[in-house]
Every structure is written in C-alpha cells, then in structure tokens.
Amino acid sequence: MNVETTKDKQLVLDAYEALLKDCKRSHAEESRKMIEKAFQFAWKAHRGVRRKSGEPYILHPIEVAHIAAKEMGLGTKSIVAALLHDVVEDTDYTVEDIENLFGEKVAQIVDGLTKIKGVFDQKTSMQAENFRKMLLTLSDDLRVILIKMADRLHNMRTLNSMPLRKQMKIAGETLFLFAPLAHRMGLYTIKTELENLSLKYEHPDDYKSIAGKIKEQEDKQSALISEIIAPIELKLAENNIQCSIKNRPRSIYSIWTKMQTQNISVEEIYDLVSVRVVFKPEEGIPEKNQCWNIYSLITDIYKPKPERIRDWVSTPKANGYEALHVTAMGPQGNWVEFQIRTERMDDIAEKGFAVHSKYNTNGSGDSELDKWLKDVREILDNPEADAMAFLDEFKLNLFSQEIQVFTPKGHIKTLPKNATTLDFAYEIHTDIGNQCIGAKVNHKLVPLSHVLKSGDQVEILTSEKQSPKHEWMDFVVTAKAKSKIKAAFKKERKEYTNKGARMVEDRLLEVGLQLNAKAYRKMLEHYKLSGKEELFYKIGMGKMDINEIEAVVRKKSKSKFIKYWRLNFFGNNEKEEKIASTEKEDDKPAIDKKKTLMLSEMAANESYKIATCCKPIPGDEVLGHLDMANNVTIHKRKCPNALKLMSSQGDRILAADWTSHRLMSFLAVIELSGIDKIGIVNEVTNVISKGHDVNMRSLHFESHDGIFEGLIHLYVHNTEDLNNLIVKLIKIKGLDNVKRIENIEEYS
C-alpha cells in the first residue's frame, strides 16, 4: 500500500474544487452535501491505491465526475455515481453498501457501471459480455451509458501510461464501439475526442503528420476564415440577427478517414474549411424559418452547391441533431461548409441527449433516441448466447448514415443507409416482417431485397402463408430485422440440431464406433466447423452426407502416424512416446503477451503468419492476434478485422514490430491512372525493372477516352522499397495518380 503524501492530498483537493465549480445543476445545500459525502467515501475506499501513471487513484473518479458535470451537464446523482463508479469493483464495498449510504438509484447506476467478474468460456469475449451488461441497464437508466462515456474519455486522455498492447486494445475498442455509441447519443464533442485519441495511439505517425500540417496552415486558415466571416457578420447585423460565427476545424480523425477512403492528401480535402453560425432566435417565429432566412442571406454573398445542402432542421437526425448545412464557394475559390443552428440546437449538438430533457422533442413526446433505445431493448430481451454475435448486431444499430422513408400515411421512419423493404417491414412490426411478401415503393412493386432511398414512400404487402426464409439474412441490414429473423429460426434450428445428433449417433453405432471427444474433434477438424451444434444442425438439414461420417472418424491423424512410425523404428521407448506427445507444445513456445513480438524473417510461417485480409508488409504498422491454438496472425492496425479483434478480444492482442527484412518478399498492389499516351506502359515497366528491390508478378492496364488505369502486383521487401518506387513512378509525365491498394484481398 502506497503512502499518501501532502502533495497527493493537495492534488486531490484541487481536482475536487475544480469539480465543484462546474456542478452547475447541484447548487442546493442537500446536493452539495451528497457530493461531499460521496467524495470522502470514495477517497477513503481508494486510499493508498495509485494508477499506472503514479497518481492517486481517486483522481480518476473525480475527473470522470468532472466530465459528467461540465461536458455533459449531468446532475447530482450522476456526479455521485461517477465518484463511486469503481468502488464496488476495486474494493470490498458492495452494491448494498452503496444503496444504504446513497440510495437505490445511485446503487443501480453504480451496479450498471461495475464490470462482470468471474470465469467465462474461453471462446466468450469478456469485453463483449461487459458491454452487453452495461447496455442491459439502458432499460433502467440512460445515465449509466453517459457516465461510462465519461469514464472511457478520461481513460483515453491518460492512456499514455499504459503498455503498447493495452493502448491498442483500449483504442481499438473505443473506435469500434464507444465512438459510434457517443455519436448515437448525440455527444459530438466527446465522439470527436475519442476518435482523435484512438487515432493517436493506433496510428501515431499519421496523427502527428496531420496535426503538423494543420498547425502549418493555422495562420493562413485563420486569415481565410476572417475573410469569409466578415461580410456575413455585416449582413446578419444589418438584419438584426444576434449570433456568433466561428471556425469549426475538421477533426484529425475525420481528415485521416477521408484520406484513407478517397486516397487523397490533406490539401485535397475540399471541405476542410467549415464555419458555424449559432444565433439567438426571435420569439414567435419558427426556428426553421429563421435558419432558412440566414441561409438566404449567406447565399446572397456566396453561391451554394445545390447537391451539398443538408436539411436536418425539418427532419432531425436519429440522435437529435438539428442544423441546416450548406456548402458554398468561398472568396478564394475554395468550398466552405456553413452550419446554421440556434443556441438550443447547438446545446444539444455539443452535449447530446443529456440536455435534451430541457427541450421539447416532437409532437408525440418521444425523441428519436427513445425509439432507438426501444430497438436496443428488443435486441437485449432475446440476446444471442454468443456475446460476439450480440456485439455485431448492436454495432449494426450504431449506424452513422441514415435515410428517412415514409409510410403510406406519411409518417417518417429512420433507417440505416442500404436498408431494404424487409428492414422497413420489421421496423413497423415483427409480424409484418415475418409475413412480408413484397412492397410498393413510390407505388411500384418491388421485392423484399429492394434497397430504399431517402424520401421513398413504402407500402408493405403481407400474406398469412408467408414465414421467414434463411436467405433473408443475406440482405437485411438492421439489427432489429436480423434478431427477429433469428428468433423465428431458433425453434426450427433446435429441431434440426436434435435430429442431426440422433443421425450421427445412430450411424456410428451401426458401424461399431463411439461418439466421443476424439470423434467430435475429427469431424469438426474435417468439416472446419466451430462446434458440434453446427455439425448436428448441418447434418439434420441435409447439407452434409451422413455416409461420410464413418470414414472421417476412422481416418488416421498425423500425430497417430508419427507415433506409429516411432514405435516401429525406435521400439517401445517411453522417452520417444513422451517426445511424440509433447511435440505440438515444443513446436509452439509460450508467447509473452507483455512483450513486443519481433517479426524476423527466419521466424516467418513458424512463429507468425500474415493475415490474408490485409497482407501487411514490413514497415506497416501492425499488431498480432493470438488464437486459441497459440498461433499468431499479423494484421495491419488499420485493417477492419484487426479493429474488431481489438474491441472484442483485446486480451489476445500483441504488440508487434518488424526487424530488418531483406531476404523475403511480400505481395503489394499499386494502382495507377493518368493520360494515355504512346509508350507510357513501357516507361512504367522500365522504372520497375530498374529497381533492384522490386519484382513484378503481374500487370493489367485499361484505356478509355484518353485515360488509362492500371493495376500492378509486386513483390517487395518492405514499405520503404514500395514508397521509393511510388515516388519514382509519380515523376513519369502523364501519370496523375499512383497509390498502394490497402485492401489487397479484393485484388489478389
């Protein structure tokens, strides 16, 4: 136990004083006393404990409470729960103790914030289970999620004191689940900071590079913003509109994302300039009308781009966001995005639904958040046994891009982009989804798989004879639809599984074999299945030939052959038998997850293998994933599969780095485009052939309308060789674009 110094005490008291100053909703004496009581209780409970950074542990709950109070605008019970959120997990105090001292509601929130303890099946993701438990509390209290967000934000702010593999795990989980969840809750400021901090730890070089370029452009950008704002301020003042106009800098993460998806540089991101107009509305005039009035005044000065108008005033986003966006041509030939919103809209956009109760939602009194929470509760009411399946379904519900479609009576339904008519049917009611046979979209007949667009009017056609089909899972996209279809199949699946189990057992008994662990292992290995339930189900469905089972179970395994060979050639030697039985373990030494795995050429294919989904090459930022059989697979850190693994199986993530690679070659793909001219292909191949460290595997060129496009598969030693080649190629006259293809699986 560490001794608390005078300096420590002063640090704690200063942090607590700063918290009290920002408890704007807790001025009453009773509220202050409750916060003081919680602070003293938590301080005593955590006394002597320190964080990885060396600071007293109590600073963490104080900072979490500070974020909840200042950045989310939460009240007394939330602040008290934030101060106590780690007490039950990390000390001997129980939820009952919290309830006795601070009341039932605070105890419920703290219980929701307490991680699950105990042992789970090895195949279950502890992270997924924790996340599911936290979401179960949604039906009781939304504040659990908000405080969890505050907790995650402070952990991300202090992540530099953690080891590299922990940084990757926490950053990956944050980007995969918590940032989208913050977006759904309308916590834009927190969502942006979570994304930026995740990028800082997952791709530190990219983060520093973009931050540096933004810093370089700061003075130039500031002068440009002033030039853009000046005439608008004058125009709005002439019309007696009270407002504040300021630059809304694009986040580092959003710049990085656009660079990755569009393969462009920072300088090429056209909507880097963004201006926010926040005004005080006049009483008696609808806010929507006032937004459009300001739009009219701005577009009198700067010409708008018609296809870049976003009206979230008439139809707010599902997370409650309201604003009118327009992109217009600025004074120096650059595009500028203007965001027009009232002070109320700005308050909601900054602090999310924590402040939404201050304002009216809509005519029915139900906000879009309430509808979303209802959907989440439906998923939780009938959760999948597999926590990872649940995690995938929940992730689907965190869609960021939405469409809005209409019922025949004109009611609006919000769905994710790429939603189908069948998703719409399940959105209305489970029975309508189960009995759906088609739809009329804008009065035209369409199939169940028809992808909807914003503004479509949809009428669902049903039949009592219809029932859910397995192929429906191939095209529905909402978590609600997927969970309802799975629920319908649950009974059917159980029947087929039981039938398959009887068929396998009867077949093996017929030929004098036993259905034991060894037989299961052989069948699962042969058919490459994850579990016996899946095996029985497929056999029961008739997807596998039951007559093959005998041959599969009788098949001699490789280890059996090795043992037979050793016994015949070395005699019945106990030592040799021991060698044979331990050979597998000796071949795969234990991996120290706390150390960075160094990827040497000599160990390739033995101590690690390269992921086929992203095929990293030496020089790429990578991580390792350790599977149940002690095998390590190396992924790029930016690989979508790696991101999912970090968020769901973080305890199996390894920090990894390359040693010098000059012997082995790795496959890379580059894409080229430019002006088609005589001899350009020859110039490209000459540059590649003159590079001693690069070899071509194949090349493909196409030309149309004076433009050519090409794909070249290369073998390179590392990213340095590849980047040097790209620099040489881009110098060829006529070549407009040369880039590396990151998602190599599609091109291999």
* Residues 638, 730 within the same domain: no
**Residue 700's domain is classified under what CATH number?**
3.30.70.260
pLDDT at 187: 83
State the distance between the two ends of the chain, measured CA to CA, in whole angstroms.
Answer: 56
* Residues 107, 181 within the same domain: yes
For residue 604, what pLDDT band results from cuts at 50, 70 and 90?
A: low
Neighbouring CB atoms inside 10 A of 252's CB total 23
pLDDT at 115: 59
* Residues 675, 732 within the same domain: yes
The beta-strand segments (E) located in 509-637 are: 597-599, 609-610, 622-626, 632-636
**Residue 101's domain is classified under what CATH number?**
1.10.3210.10
Residue reference for tokens 């700061």: 218
Residue reference for tokens 């702010």: 157
How confident is the model over 187-196, as a mean pLDDT? Answer: 91
Of 393, 395, 473, 462, the closest CA to residue 425 belongs to 462
Range among 119-128, 445-454, 656-665 rated most confident: 445-454
* Residues 620, 673 within the same domain: no
Count of domains observed in the chain: 5
Residue 106 included in any domain: yes
**Residue 325's domain is classified under what CATH number?**
3.30.460.10
* Residues 644, 675 within the same domain: no
Rounded Cα–Cα distance for residues 690 and 291 (Å): 61
Of 426, 421, 409, the closest CA to residue 452 belongs to 421
* Residues 545, 692 within the same domain: no
Residue 356 has pLDDT above 70, yes or no: no
Residue 401 included in any domain: no
Residue 602 included in any domain: yes
Q: Are 620 and 682 in contact (CB under 8 A)?
A: no
- Between the alpha carbon of residue 301 and those of residues 157, 193, 230, 336, 501, the distances in Å are 42, 33, 11, 12, 74
The beta-strand segments (E) located in 407-516 are: 412-416, 436-441, 444-446, 458-462
Look at residues 326, 358, 390 and tell me which one is the last residue of a structural domain.
Answer: 358
Look at residues 358, 383, 411 and tell me which one is the last residue of a structural domain.
Answer: 358
Q: Which range (351-360, 438-447, 461-470, 641-650) has the least confidence?
A: 351-360
- DSSP count for the chain of H helices, then E strands: 30, 19
* Residues 219, 158 within the same domain: no
* Residues 131, 230 within the same domain: no
Residue 39 has pLDDT above 80, yes or no: yes
Rounded Cα–Cα distance for residues 416 and 403 (Å): 6
pLDDT in tens, 464-515: 989 899 899 989 988 888 888 888 887 778 888 889 888 988 888 888 887 7
Tokens of 161: 């004191």
Rounded Cα–Cα distance for residues 266 and 260 (Å): 11
Q: Are 46 and 91 in contact (CB under 8 A)?
A: yes
Residue 465 included in any domain: no
Q: Which is it for strands 653-658 and 597-599: parallel, antiparallel or unpaired? A: parallel
pLDDT at 367: 58
- Between the alpha carbon of residue 79 and those of residues 32, 38, 88, 152, the distances in Å are 10, 9, 16, 15
* Residues 161, 285 within the same domain: no
- Please enumerate in sequence order all residues whose Cβ is within 8 A of that of 467, keeping only pairs 6 or more positions apart, or say none: 434, 435, 488
Residue 116 has pLDDT above 60, yes or no: no
Residue 197 included in any domain: no
Rounded Cα–Cα distance for residues 143 and 26 (Å): 16
Q: Are 387 and 125 in contact (CB under 8 A)?
A: yes
pLDDT in tens, 140-186: 567 888 898 899 999 999 999 888 888 888 898 888 888 888 887 77
Q: Are 667 and 698 in contact (CB under 8 A)?
A: no
Residue 576 included in any domain: no
The residues that are catalytic are: 89-90
Residue 420 included in any domain: no
Rounded Cα–Cα distance for residues 286 and 393 (Å): 39
* Residues 652, 688 within the same domain: no
Residue 339 has pLDDT above 90, yes or no: yes
* Residues 215, 296 within the same domain: yes
- Between the alpha carbon of residue 683 and those of residues 161, 201, 614, 712, 714, the distances in Å are 51, 40, 29, 14, 16
* Residues 24, 141 within the same domain: yes
Tokens of 208: 């520093």
Range of the domain at 122: 6-185
CA 261 from centroid of its chain's CA atoms = 16
Look at residues 358, 389, 422 and tell me which one is the last residue of a structural domain.
Answer: 358
CA 555 from centroid of its chain's CA atoms = 43
Rounded Cα–Cα distance for residues 197 and 168 (Å): 11
Residue 426 included in any domain: no
Rounded Cα–Cα distance for residues 448 and 86 (Å): 48
Q: Which carries the bigger pLDDT value, residue 37 or residue 367?
A: 37
Alpha-carbon Rg of the chain, whole angstroms? 30
